[in-house]
Structure 1
Amino acid sequence: MTPTDPHNRLNLRFIALAIGMFAIGTDSFVVAGILPSVAEDLDVGVSTSAELITAYALAYAILSPLVASVAGRASRKLLLIGGLAVFVAGNIGTGLAPTFEAAMAFRVVAALGGAMFTPTAAGAVVALAGPERRATALSILFGGLSAATALGSPIGTAISGVTDWRGTMMFVAAVGALAAVAVLIGLPAVPRPPAVPFKQRLSPLADARITLTLVLLLVSYSGLFVLYTYVSQVFRPATGGAGTTLAWLLFAWGVAAVVGNLFAGRLTDAYGNRVVINTAGVTAVFVFLTTPWSSQHLVSAFVAVVLWGACGWAMLVPIQHRLVGVNPAASQLSVSLSSSANYIGVSLAPVIGGFLLDHVVSANHLGLPAAAVVATGLLIGELSHRVIVRGTGAVAAATDTLTPAANPSPANHP
């Protein structure tokens, strides 16, 4: 493939956007690894410092559909670069914040930048790639997000061990600035999509099948990220409090997450979304239940985070598959809502975990109630499955009534 090959040029454009996704994904995951450093520097408790994760995730979940509605007629390239500029400013502000309250405010600013960039980037690659290369383009784009779990978060955690948490925020800001330059230079003008009113973006919630599936996502990821938020404390016996050792554990978690995400699609196609959701979820529950013991030694901690990372991320694809299958005509809006549900779940995780640590359990036993939250999500998932099956059966029965079988043999009535 030559440098002038149009496919090569397209890939370079997508890589520019993927760098932005890497920065935003790193910002989403890296704070969990530096909470003790943040808490000590800003003179707050670790559970209080975890509210920085809540502020970012909740602001992103709320602002993402609002920005998409309000800025529907804005230039896509301007929105991408503007989003990255706001994101960089938010992270620099966080890194320079003199107080915890100031850091919280700048986390919201960073989330606004992420909410401006991520949905716009997804729309841009779809518009530029065309139908024949759409899947490849999206895989490059969201490869940046996967790379953030495998590389960005552990690198940021390691930087915190060498400097402090403020150095980590500057690292994230630098990657965001690099992405802004890449988009400015490498991305052409992008066609604007049709504007979608905010009310229409919420219309899939009227379908109980979609709403229950979104609740499955929200609750399950709340439980999965309760442990991730406080990973530095839960696995402190294994790491000895060493930031470098924790960074290696997060690296293992991230690599497993990428692998789990990659295989989830094939497994869902082969066995259906229900099997993959429940298998991955039950495995994650088992891993969480055993953390009081697995967190005591580095080898067992390594095994635990690998299984947890793979299974946690393997649930995302089949949940999206279920959403799309329920109502294919509304699939784009449903997937957009799933992103908000995911971030709301992540935003609730620090609140749930902080309450549990302050009033219920020690860090060593945090995996037990986290497992209960994930199990609750799986029960909601079973309810959504039953509602979907019941609805499909009703449609089939109505069709049978209106359209008699041409050959009413036993083969037509299993």
Structure 2
Amino acid sequence: MRLRLLLLALGTFAVGTDTMVMAGILGRIAGDLGVSVPAAGQLVTVFALSYALLAPLLAAATARWPRRRLLLAALAVFTAANALSALAPDYPTLLATRVLAAAGAALYTPNASAAATALVPPERRGRALATVLGGMTAATALGVPLGTYVGRADWRATMWLVTALGAVALLGLAAFLRELPASAQAAGLRERLAPLRDKRVLAAAATTFAFFLSFQSVYIYLGTAVHPATGGDADKLSTILLVTGVASVAGSWLGGHVVDRWGVRKVLLVGSVISVVFFAALPWLGLTMPGALVYALAVPLAGWSISVAQPHRLASLRPADAPLLLSLNSSALYLGTAAGGGAGSLAIALLGERWFPLGASALAVVALWLAAATTRPAAKAPAAAGTARMRTEAVPAAESRSRQESSPSGV
């Protein structure tokens, strides 16, 4: 049982590494393929946008497939796509392989979570999910700096690393994972999008999009932002990314605790204020290694706390629809990542390589405003309205707090 969960987690580790490692090798890709760094950054945009758009479509199309067959097919597509990325002779071909890799990733990650819950009794499902989704967190802490280090001389070596990780997970699951039938109540595309009719859900998804738009517009080009500190040294950049990864894991853990203690609204506001300040300070912090490391510690702590608070917020809105709402949150996250690649590229073109994080600071202000406006506590009813009316308004608020305390918190 434990081995199968670890193999599922290895698959999410490979997906997470593939999603985020481009930030450490953009310069190598740009130099090898003869494109600019902002153009290379669009590889992240294409991957994230493809993931966001394909996830609900593929989920609906394969809803009744046996889970084992679907997991193996998804990993096969993902692994083959990364091998093709490693072999890509030019930029257009590499772009096409990133779309294919995103399709495999979009199929694998949610179904790996579903498989984890089917492998264990109900009382152990939380721990099983934590194990599998922990692969994504571990990718931030270990996969990205490792991939950057491996690709310090040739970015293709990083793609081969991701290919190897996917292949080991594929072979392991093929050997040890038993058949897992499809859900009898699989939701179609219309059902998956139905919660967007709820204005609260739409506002929460928009907030996720805005936060990740600002965060990723810097993270994707972090190597450029801290170039004065690293001098182009891949080992120094790997160190910064390692600190970023460790801080991300700490931020995820911290987010789960402070949401329970402070509530979603305060976590969103505090986290976004920290982000605004440090994005604005990065043009100066990025001049030295100590300053870059301070940034690498502070922003992931804030960002990953927010990434826990947002799904917590969505799941508490309509607990019965929590799986669908969390799927929508993931799509909003990847759409924000995709748009962040374009926003960062535009900011570099307009503001230059040193000052482009100021654009992220402005975007974070928008995210802060959106979070404040859409999580504002409901106004208390006037006393003249009567006790019955006050009681009617108080009950949903109490239920909301109860749902927030009992709903899952994670990404």
TM-score, normalised on structure 2? 0.92
- Specify which of 169, 174, 189 is matched with residue 179 of structure 1: 169
Asked if the contact 1:34/1:160 (under 8 Å) is kept, the reply is yes
Letter in 2 for 1:228: Y
Q: Distance in 2 between matches of 1:374 and 1:14?
A: 37
Alignment of 1:218-237 (within 5 A): 218-237=209-228
Q: Distance in 1 between matches of 2:365 and 2:191?
A: 32
2:146 corresponds to which residue?
155
How far has the Cα of 1:57 moved from its partner? 0.5
- Specify which of 81, 89, 94 is matched with residue 85 of structure 2: 94
1:168 corresponds to which residue?
158
Pair 1:399–1:73, CA change in 2 (3 A):
farther
Q: Distance in 1 between matches of 2:17 and 2:222?
A: 16
Asked if the contact 1:213/1:384 (under 8 Å) is kept, the reply is yes
- Specify which of 65, 68, 71 is matched with residue 56 of structure 2: 65
Q: Does 1:146 align with 2:134?
A: no
How far has the Cα of 1:187 moved from its partner? 1.6
Q: Distance in 1 between matches of 2:378 and 2:106?
A: 35
Letter in 1 for 2:78: F
Q: Distance in 2 between matches of 1:76 and 1:54?
A: 29
Alignment of 1:12-411 (within 5 A): 12-161=3-152, 163-193=153-183, 194-358=185-349, 360-386=350-376, 389=378, 400-401=388-389
How far has the Cα of 1:324 moved from its partner? 1.3
Q: Distance in 1 between matches of 2:338 and 2:156?
A: 22
Letter in 1 for 2:300: G
Kindly report the root-mean-square deviation, in angstroms, between the aligned alpha carbons of the 2 structures.
1.9
How far has the Cα of 1:131 moved from its partner? 2.0
Pair 1:239–1:202, CA change in 2 (3 A):
same
How far has the Cα of 1:353 moved from its partner? 0.9
Q: Distance in 2 between matches of 1:362 and 1:181?
A: 46
Q: 1:104-149: per-residue Cα shift (whole Å, max 9, x none)?
A: 0000000011011111111111222232011101110111000100
Q: Distance in 1 between matches of 2:178 and 2:140?
A: 29
Matched residue of 2:232: which SS?
coil
Asked if the contact 1:220/1:375 (under 8 Å) is kept, the reply is no
Letter in 2 for 1:60: Y
Q: Distance in 2 between matches of 1:175 and 1:88?
A: 8
Q: Distance in 1 between matches of 2:188 and 2:37?
A: 40
How many residue pairs get aligned? The number is 390
Q: Distance in 1 between matches of 2:358 and 2:249?
A: 25
Pair 1:51–1:401, CA change in 2 (3 A):
same
Q: 1:360-397: per-residue Cα shift (whole Å, max 9, x none)?
A: 211211221101111211211112113x736x979xx8
Q: Distance in 1 between matches of 2:227 and 2:358?
A: 17
Moved over 6 A (4+): 402-405
Q: Distance in 2 between matches of 1:352 and 1:403?
A: 46
Matched residue of 1:17: which SS?
helix
Matched residue of 1:277: which SS?
helix
Letter in 2 for 1:367: P
How far has the Cα of 1:309 moved from its partner? 1.3
Asked if the contact 2:65/2:181 (under 8 Å) is kept, the reply is no
Asked if the contact 1:94/1:169 (under 8 Å) is kept, the reply is yes
Q: Distance in 1 between matches of 2:235 and 2:392?
A: 68
Matched residue of 1:21: which SS?
helix
How far has the Cα of 1:398 moved from its partner? 11
Asked if the contact 1:212/1:383 (under 8 Å) is kept, the reply is no
Asked if the contact 1:127/1:191 (under 8 Å) is kept, the reply is no
Matched residue of 1:189: which SS?
coil
1:7 corresponds to which residue?
none
Letter in 1 for 2:203: L
Letter in 1 for 2:167: A
Q: Distance in 2 between matches of 1:146 and 1:402?
A: 43
Q: Distance in 2 between matches of 1:378 and 1:131?
A: 38
Letter in 2 for 1:400: A
Pair 1:393–1:44, CA change in 2 (3 A):
farther
Q: Distance in 1 between matches of 2:386 and 2:46?
A: 48
How far has the Cα of 1:399 moved from its partner? 9.6
Pair 1:403–1:27, CA change in 2 (3 A):
closer
Letter in 1 for 2:168: L
Pair 1:402–1:282, CA change in 2 (3 A):
closer
- Gap runs ≥5 in structure 1: 1-9, 406-414
Matched residue of 1:22: which SS?
helix
Q: Distance in 1 between matches of 2:14 and 2:127?
A: 20
Q: Distance in 2 between matches of 1:100 and 1:389?
A: 51
Asked if the contact 2:381/2:389 (under 8 Å) is kept, the reply is no
